[in-house]
């Protein structure tokens, strides 16, 4: 991660606090236009939270309260009434904000309230393949949980 030191809007140039050409993992970062270089903005403060450095995390998720992002934009995660919500690593929501209107583009209901949305991104599905049942210190039973099926003819 690099910190933005300055932006030249007329020349479409961003100055970072480090030289990306010297970074062994990003030797040609931003240098080859055909690779469509991307600069992703990542703002969540430098102090971190609960002993975790800011570079290792995003905004901590808390249900039932408005969480400030920036420039007056806030998000809220509603708690479920019947079962706990499941948030997975990689969940994200795209929230287009427009300077011209001073608002975010988010679908709204009849009374103008923001509608709930599922996260974007890849939906992963998991299935157990086996179960190990310990019998004693050196013995266990393997239960195969795979579902075999006959090949199509």
**Each residue of 47-81: pLDDT tens digit?**
554 555 555 556 677 899 988 877 777 888 888 88
What percent of the chain has pLDDT above 90? 8
Identify which has the larger pLDDT, 65 or 3.
65
pLDDT of residue 143: 92
Q: Taking the mean position of all CA atoms in its chain, how far away is CA 133?
A: 36
Are 93 and 120 contacting, i.e. CB atoms less than 8 angstroms apart? yes
Residues 6+ apart with CB under 8 A from 100: none
Burial 130-144 (b: 16+ CB within 10 A, else e): eeeeeeeeeeeeeee
pLDDT of residue 27: 58
pLDDT of residue 60: 72
Is the pLDDT at 131 greater than 90, yes or no?
A: yes
The predicted model scores a pTM of: 0.44
Structure letter (DSSP) for residue 2:
-
Strands, DSSP E only, in 3-129? 4-8, 13-16, 66-70, 73-76, 97-98, 103-104
CA distances from residue 37 to 28, 34, 59, 90 in whole angstroms, order as listed: 9, 8, 25, 22
CB atoms within 10 A of CB 114: 13
From CA 153, how far away is CA 17, in angstroms rounded?
62
From CA 42, how far away is CA 77, in angstroms rounded?
20
From CA 80, how far away is CA 82, in angstroms rounded?
6
């Amino acid at each position: 991660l690099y910190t933005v030191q300055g932006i030249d809007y007329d020349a479409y140039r961003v100055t970072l606090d480090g030289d990306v050409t010297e970074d062994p993992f990003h030797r040609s970062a931003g240098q080859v236009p055909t690779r469509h270089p991307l600069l992703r903005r990542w703002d969540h403060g430098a102090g971190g939270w609960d002993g975790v450095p800011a570079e290792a995390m995003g905004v901590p998720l808390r249900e039932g309260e408005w969480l400030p992002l920036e420039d007056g934009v806030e998000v809220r995660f509603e708690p479920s009434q019947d079962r706990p919500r499941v948030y997975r690593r990689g969940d994200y929501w795209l929230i287009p904000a427009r300077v011209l209107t001073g608002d975010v583009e988010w679908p709204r209901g009849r009374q103008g309230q923001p509608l709930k949305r599922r996260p974007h991104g890849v939906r992963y599905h998991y299935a157990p393949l086996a179960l190990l049942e310990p019998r004693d210190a050196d013995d266990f039973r393997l239960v195969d949980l795979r579902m075999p099926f006959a090949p199509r003819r």
